[in-house]
Amino acid sequence: MADKVAPMNPPASTEAIRNVVLIGPSGSGKTTLLESMLLAAGQISRAGNIADGSTASDYDEAEKRQQRSVNLAVAAFDYQGTRLNLIDVPGYADFAGEVGAGLRAADAALFVVTADSGFDGNTRLLWEECAKVEMPRAIVVTKIDAPRAATATRAEELRAALGSGVVTFELPMGENVFDLLTQQVHNHAAGKHTARPATDAEKAEAAELRAALIEAIIAEADDEALMEQYLSGDEIDSSAARADVVKAVAHARFHPVLFSTTQPAGYGVEEILDLIVSGFPSPVLHSIPALHSITSDSPVALHADANGPLVAEVVKTTSDPYLGRISLVRIFSGTMRAEDVVHVSGHFSKDSGHEDHDLDEKVGALSSPLGKMLRPLAVGIAGDLVAVARLSRAETGDTLSSKEKPVIMPAWVMPVPLHPMAVVAHNKQDEDKLAQGLHRLIIEDPSVRMERPQETNQTVLWTLGEAHLDVLLDRLKTRFGVAVDAVPFKVPLRETLLGNAVGHGRLVKQSGGHGQYAVCDIMVEALPHGSGFEFVDEVVGGAVPRQYIPSVEKGIRAQLERGLAAGYHVVDLRVRLQDGKSHTVDSSDMAFQHAGQLALQDAAARTGVGLLEPVSSIEVEVDDNYVGAVLSDIPTRRGRVTGTQPAASSGRSVVSAEVPDLELVTYSTALRSLSHGTGRFTRTPRGYESMPQQLAKTFMTKEPDKA
């Protein structure tokens, strides 16, 4: 980070702010496009070189090692009197948590695809999510100068795939681009922008697309004057048409398709910046998510007003080795200044790994982010994105509000982590720091869940996929100084007996002085799944003295906890204590505990031990093109398909199935491959079922304890 950084002036007003998230698959050119916009706006002297020499979006060393973006990053700068907060989010599905944060912070979305590949399945899903909340969107087709670039057909493919609102405003013609509204031909050869009127031949080539655009504008805007010009054959008033377009874009009814080259500050950059300034809405037009007062049950209605009460949200948390914790905050209402005391509120679901909290904290220094560089900012106003230092208790997703009128915003929907991996500290020194490092990791990334199941005694990280896990482990080591090793995740199995049997336990030991003497005879009965354990005392005539009957039960329960064949908890059986023997001197509590264990082991040897495995009900939502692949895959995972039905989104289906948890450990990664990125699934625990004996044998590695 540079020693001296010039301060950043606050935006002129909330109306002069544009918050735009850049979405697209890995390799689509988002970062290159962002750097080209920074170059065009005079923020950098050459592509990839901000004031401190960093790139526009790469935030830490993990991105250099991964060779792809893995973090949300913000580039804030001024262009034509407007503050642009451009939010670059990762394009890989494993980092959907970062994408969700970017969508929460933004008022509009710029989808970036390449001329030689187009949309992938994950990007299409994000388009649909934006459509559900009517977020304004535009598409930039990059790399139009690359070999095999299908610029002539890409726009039509996008329109067919995404709906009639997708409208082409430009037509690439070799090194030139034809503006369909103005009929001007633009050229950015050698980084120099020139424009000229189109020739008759160029107009003829673009006539069909231009007619389709004008008709779409007329139909959408209901502009009678424009319609009259069009029907009479008069020249269209391009400025009036553009005004209609701007209004339709801001209200998410039109989604322009623009084009860009691979060259820094090449064709399309100025046009994209102009669209963001003139076509995308300010935060004033973005409704604030529903608010709830903490001090009463009354809902709170606010809008983006710098003079209103403070309401802001932490959309990302990072740790800087020099500055400490940095919180990226979207201010929805009011004004924030350094040293203000704000109320921090975070209410989480029970299984999130986060504790609910309501407390007051003093705001640290405010900054405006540009890649890794933080420029001092005197004040943050409604609509702006600011970096806040020293919020030591605030976590990602927390609400910041005035302490006089504290409120809470509902958390945005985070992707559910379904890819587990167990971790252990690399050595004793790391073991001491592991808990703290994991806690800080979860505060930064709420799409991670940590648990420590009592049955397996493992520390388990639930993540969004293998790439997500790799980044987390890398971050633990490089940022928090904790080295860990990944170990196989253990699914908590159960043991049970395969039938009914008698068991005899006899402990006779004499080694001088008091010996050890106890005899137990039991009957073991297998019970239906889910029945647990029952102990029944059927001793008559005092064969086992009354004071030792609890000892027998205690010993049996201890053996159930340790397992009989594979080290898993034993369930679903009834033990009847029927007979036994004792000695007036050598019998003891410990002797009868041990005899009870021996009797249970004897019964298990007679009837055999089986394993029970957890089974989950899953629902897989997938593009219709890949339903067959999903249906074929489920039986290979020992699963049972229970039904299929259309999804809420057109062209998608939901497959319901029941699958053993052992087969779901890596399913998130497999499903992504099967569905070409279009699939996602949810799971609900259903209970335990018997594991096939052939498979169960591979887990039978534990010898029963011997007397």
In the predicted model, what is the mean pLDDT of residues 384-412? Answer: 92
pLDDT for residue 262: 63
pLDDT for residue 525: 96
Dist CA 495 CA 43 (whole Å)? 65
pLDDT for residue 401: 96
In CATH, 611-696 is 3.30.70.240: yes
CATH number, domain 291-408: 2.40.30.10
Angular region, 608: left φ>0, alpha ψ -120 to 50, beta rest: left
Dist CA 321 CA 688 (whole Å)? 47
Dist CA 113 CA 122 (whole Å)? 12
Q: Of 7-21, 183-197, 357-371, which gets the smallest average pLDDT?
A: 183-197
The position carrying tokens 């987390």 is: 472
pLDDT for residue 606: 96
Give me 633's structure tokens: 């895959």
pLDDT for residue 75: 95
Work out the number of other CB atoms within 10 angstroms of the CB of residue 285.
15
pLDDT for residue 654: 97
Q: State yes or no: pLDDT of 12 exceeds 90.
A: yes
pLDDT for residue 688: 94
* Percent over 70 (pLDDT), the chain: 91
- What would the DSSP string read from start to end of 502-570? EEEEEEEE-SSSS-EEEEEEEEEEE--TT--EEEEE---TTSS-GGGHHHHHHHHHHHHHH-SSSSS-B
Domain ranges, ordered by start, for the chain: 16-285, 291-408, 419-487, 494-607, 611-696
* Percent over 90 (pLDDT), the chain: 54
Q: State yes or no: pLDDT of 211 exceeds 60.
A: yes
Q: State yes or no: pLDDT of 14 exceeds 90.
A: yes
Q: State yes or no: pLDDT of 704 exceeds 50.
A: no
Angular region, 91: left φ>0, alpha ψ -120 to 50, beta rest: alpha
Q: State yes or no: pLDDT of 558 exceeds 90.
A: yes
pLDDT for residue 209: 86
Instruction: Assign domain 494-607 to a CATH class.
Output: alpha beta
- What would the DSSP string read from start to end of 19-88? EEEEE--TTS-HHHHHHHHHHHTTS-SBTTB-TTS--SS--SHHHHHHTS--S-EEEEEEETTEEEEEEE
pLDDT for residue 53: 41
- Residue 193: is it exposed, middle or buried by C-beta count within 10 angstroms (0-12/13-18/19+)? middle
pLDDT for residue 705: 43
277, 250, 369: which is closest to 315 by C-alpha?
A: 369
Give me 228's structure tokens: 């009259």
Q: State yes or no: pLDDT of 502 exceeds 60.
A: yes
pLDDT for residue 295: 83
The answer to whether the CB of 135 falls within 8 A of the CB of 412 is no
For residue 218, the 8-state DSSP code is: H
Q: State yes or no: pLDDT of 637 exceeds 90.
A: yes
pLDDT for residue 707: 35
**202 — pLDDT class (breaks 50, 70, 90):** very high
CATH number, domain 16-285: 3.40.50.300
In the predicted model, what is the mean pLDDT of residues 109-137? Answer: 86
Q: State yes or no: pLDDT of 257 exceeds 50.
A: yes
pLDDT for residue 706: 39
Q: State yes or no: pLDDT of 474 exceeds 80.
A: yes
Dist CA 256 CA 169 (whole Å)? 6
- What would the DSSP string read from start to end of 265-310? T-TTHHHHHHHHHHHSPPGGGSPPPPEEESSSS-EE---S-TTS--
Helix axes 549-562, 589-607, angle to 10 degrees: 50
Q: Of 194-203, 252-261, 265-274, which gets the smallest average pLDDT?
A: 265-274
In the predicted model, what is the mean pLDDT of residues 76-93? Answer: 93
In the predicted model, what is the mean pLDDT of residues 637-658? Answer: 94
Q: What rounded mean pLDDT belongs to the chain?
A: 88
Q: Provide the whole-model pTM.
A: 0.86
Q: Of 102-111, 238-247, 380-389, 482-491, which gets the smallest average pLDDT?
A: 238-247
SS3 label, residue 355: coil
36, 18, 39: which is closest to 140 by C-alpha?
A: 36
Q: Which residue has the higher pLDDT, 550 or 92?
A: 550
CATH number, domain 419-487: 3.30.70.870
Q: Tell me the per-residue pLDDT of 287-321, one tens digit each, with 9 for 90 and over.
A: 888 898 888 877 888 889 999 999 999 999 998 77
pLDDT for residue 106: 96
Q: Of 25-29, 34-38, 521-525, 640-644, which gets the smallest average pLDDT?
A: 25-29
SS3 label, residue 605: helix
Q: State yes or no: pLDDT of 198 exceeds 60.
A: yes
Q: State yes or no: pLDDT of 512 exceeds 80.
A: no
pLDDT for residue 232: 82
Are 419-487 and 611-696 equal in CATH topology? Answer: yes
Q: How many residues are recorded in the chain?
A: 707
pLDDT for residue 668: 93
